[in-house]
Structure 1
């Protein structure tokens, strides 16, 4: 895996981006790393598999708050959970965007601004 991670799943709605990731995974001989072409909300609506310790969301800045909420909501579901109890969810947004609307089961514990970018950190509650 990457940096000691057991398994890594890369999800992107762009077929080209996913294919580039798959080529790089093969070229580097990475085990436990996969790339999926799907919209994040659709991917997260499916079965979870092993709970995740870390989720990095880097959507386009123009993604609406409603679309972001549609991604965050299934992450926080109680049945067939995506997140391990100690998981961290990091969401990158434009500094001009409001704080994400955290669904029930997910709460912010920190945020950090880097110029035009703010990263919001949340955890299961």
Structure 2
């Protein structure tokens, strides 16, 4: 295994295109770009896999993925959680096809109820079902 330190950057909200991000990445001498799936232009159905492969080959960089912050695969409404799971599956397919080494996903804390003395997170009160929903991975 290569122990070379690799340094990358996230896609920037100030830039509208992946090309602008690539140009900055190259100018800075970085190794990769983390594609933020919160941005509309980087939704799975808007990414061109062939172009991603072309960019990687042409510029000697690679891409990683940052799943949407609001993604909640444990949502108790199965239609909602299944929609999020489909997004995850789409990104996994893209990542595999371009040989992306990383998909970053934050676990959603879920909704909470505000009581006079504290916040109660619903997932903490329904821990068994929450953990069962995590079994998809």
TM-score by length of 1: 0.39
Larger radius of gyration: 2
TM-score by length of 2: 0.37
Q: Which has the higher strand share?
A: 1
